[in-house]
Amino acid sequence: MRMKLNYRIVIFALAIVFGVVFSAPSILQTEGGKKISLGLDLQGGLHMLLGVKTQEAVKSHIKSIASSVKHFSERNDILVDELAFDENGVSFLVLDTDEIPKFQKYLTEIVPGSILKVDGEKITLTLTQKEIEKTQQDAISQAIETIRNRLDQFGLAEPVVAKQGKEKILVQLAGIKTQEDEQRARELISRAAKLELMAVDEARDARVLNMSNADASAYGDVILESAKNSQRKYLVNEIPILDGSMLTDAQVGFDQNNRPVINFTLNAEGAEIFGDFTAKSVGKRLAVVLDGKVYSAPNISERIGGGHGQISGDYTVLEAKDLAIALRSGSLLAPIYLMEKRSVGPSLGADSIQASLVALIGGFVLVIVFMMVYYGLAGVIANIALVSNLFIILAIMSLFGATLTLPGMAGIVLTVGMAVDSNVIISERIRELIYEGKSMHKAIEDGYANAMRAILDANITTLIAAVVLYVYGTGAIKGFAITISIGILASMVTAILGTHGIYQMLEKRIQKSKNNRLWFGIKG
């Protein structure tokens, strides 16, 4: 018998072709083509939300202004006294008041966002609120930039580093094999890598072990401990000669004992400051300070030009390599801290995939068998819609490069259970009309018409819940909302339009067979 084509069946066929073609790359894991990516909970990986202690960035900004003042005064032979800083700004005395305008000009140049107050000999510099906010925002963007640079050099595929909300940083790393590797990555990105070259206070250093922090700060000094031996202390000038912001390169090298060291190079400005200082300080010591610890404090025997230096410490080649990466990609202006972390090992991810696949296939087979037993061929038609629904979900997710998470898998499993709902409603309506003695044509058409309203209302309310879940859900939960939503929308095409098309095509044949048990699983 000739079967009539109708527009519904054509659209349905197209939808199936679309589903099969675009889901193929994901199912077969082909080389090319757009694929669904697995979420970190399925493939294993690290997800972190980091915060930035922006207050610290403001502090170090002020500290560097103090450094600049000191350097400027030394360079121009202006006598400055009582140079001090706190969380609001910097203050100092200029002994020759005629020189004050020079300072004013210099300071407004280097820190435009500040208020300068001159009171006799005293100059007070305070940061404006706007400048403070800018410094904080800069610290966040700089942290993102720095973390990204470091991770790019770490050698993992496609690390994600992005700003989330106003002040959080999202870091996602896939493909980490062991927890040790993960820790290495975390240490790399969290390392401040703040290099400072500081002058040892030779006049008082001998007494350092008897000094308190307050004593030291009274002299404008700080007490720092040695990186190799925490008992060994150094008294150094609080305001550094220069810091890592003037660093242009850092590479792993080896010293004469073949131990790994890091050789760094300063930019022109840094080299000049470094040269000036060393020329002036022959016979004194220079402390190489990294993250608040003194790595070495060699004696200065002559002026050092060229801007090259070395950091030696007791580290392995791997540690030295990570440190060099951190130094090269710049220091973090402000320390970062952990707000949230989700870390899944690759074996757990693989277990989760397997478990949810078993559930998906098990649930799927149960539903399909049940529908066939209960509804006969009508059940088979519903099953065709169900299978194509699954393909379409995968195809749409592949096209958008969506991420499949464990809750997303659960969403697909659940969709299987709920997508047959439409067909159950329709089949029940058709059965009812057959009982009422309507013709096959009328039973099918009215069955669809009667069922339509309820199906639409039911689907839309589920969609409302799914959309809310998407907007307010986080991370993996969003995946659940996505698969549910796609599943519902796809079922409109497969379960409603598609099966209707199949019935219209087969209508004559059903009528002729007069076998309601075979077609709809009922007597008569």
Stretch 21-80 residues interacting with other proteins (CB under 8 A):
48-51
Q: Residue 413, interface with other proteins (CB under 8 A)?
A: yes
Please say which residue, 320 or 371, places its beta carbon nearer to other proteins.
371
Q: Residue 416, interface with other proteins (CB under 8 A)?
A: yes
Least spacing, CB of residue 375 vs other proteins, in Å: 8
Least spacing, CB of residue 50 vs other proteins, in Å: 7
Binding mask 458-477 for other proteins (x = CB under 8 A): x-xxx-xxx-xx-xxxxxxx
Q: Is 236 helix (H, G, I), strand (E, B) or coil?
A: strand
Q: Are 455 and 497 in contact (CB under 8 A)?
A: no
Which two three-digit tokens encode residue 435?
A: 């009982």
Q: Residue 326, interface with other proteins (CB under 8 A)?
A: no
Please say which residue, 476 or 496, places its beta carbon nearer to other proteins.
476
Whole-angstrom distance, CA of residue 515 vs CA of residue 524? 7
Q: Residue 374, interface with other proteins (CB under 8 A)?
A: yes
Q: Residue 104, interface with other proteins (CB under 8 A)?
A: no
Binding mask 182-201 for other proteins (x = CB under 8 A): -x--xx-xxx----------
Which two three-digit tokens encode residue 167?
A: 């002040």
CA distances from 367 to 66, 144, 362 (A): 73, 48, 9
Please say which residue, 4 or 517, places its beta carbon nearer to other proteins.
517
Q: Residue 352, interface with other proteins (CB under 8 A)?
A: yes
Instruction: Please give the size of the binding site for other proteins, defined by CB under 8 A.
Output: 80
Region 474-513 residues binding other proteins, contact defined as CB under 8 A: 474-477, 480-481, 484
Please say which residue, 92 or 448, places its beta carbon nearer to other proteins.
448
Q: Residue 449, interface with other proteins (CB under 8 A)?
A: no
- In the list 19, 45, 309, 407, the residue contacting other proteins (rule: CB under 8 A) is 407
Q: Are 356 and 413 in contact (CB under 8 A)?
A: yes
Q: Are 379 and 372 in contact (CB under 8 A)?
A: yes
Whole-angstrom distance, CA of residue 399 vs CA of residue 13? 19
Least spacing, CB of residue 456 vs other proteins, in Å: 9
Q: Residue 453, interface with other proteins (CB under 8 A)?
A: yes
Q: Is 87 helix (H, G, I), strand (E, B) or coil?
A: coil
Q: Residue 339, interface with other proteins (CB under 8 A)?
A: yes
Please say which residue, 50 or 139, places its beta carbon nearer to other proteins.
50
Least spacing, CB of residue 180 vs other proteins, in Å: 8
Neighbouring-strand partners of residue 81: 93
Go through 292-301 and write b for each residue having 16 or more CB atoms within 10 A of its CB, e for each that does not.
ebbbbbeebe
**Best CA proximity match to 189, nearest among 18, 38, 341:** 341
CA distances from 500 to 1, 6, 508, 518 (A): 19, 10, 14, 18
**Best CA proximity match to 290, nearest among 266, 313, 258:** 313
Q: What is the CA angle 165-192-172, rounded to 5? A: 45
Please say which residue, 74 or 446, places its beta carbon nearer to other proteins.
446
Whole-angstrom distance, CA of residue 375 vs CA of residue 177? 49
Spatial CB neighbours of 362, under 8 Å, sequence gap ≥ 6: none
Least spacing, CB of residue 311 vs other proteins, in Å: 19
Least spacing, CB of residue 194 vs other proteins, in Å: 14
- Per DSSP, the residues of 386-438 read HHHHHHHHHHHHHHTTPEE-HHHHHHHHHHHHHHHHHHHHHHHHHHHHHHTT-
Least spacing, CB of residue 323 vs other proteins, in Å: 13
Please say which residue, 214 or 471, places its beta carbon nearer to other proteins.
471
Q: Which stretch binds other proteins (CB under 8 A): 6-14, 102-110, 281-289, 423-431?
A: 423-431
Least spacing, CB of residue 522 vs other proteins, in Å: 6
Q: Residue 251, interface with other proteins (CB under 8 A)?
A: no
Region 353-372 residues binding other proteins, contact defined as CB under 8 A: 355-356, 358-359, 362-364, 366-367, 370-371
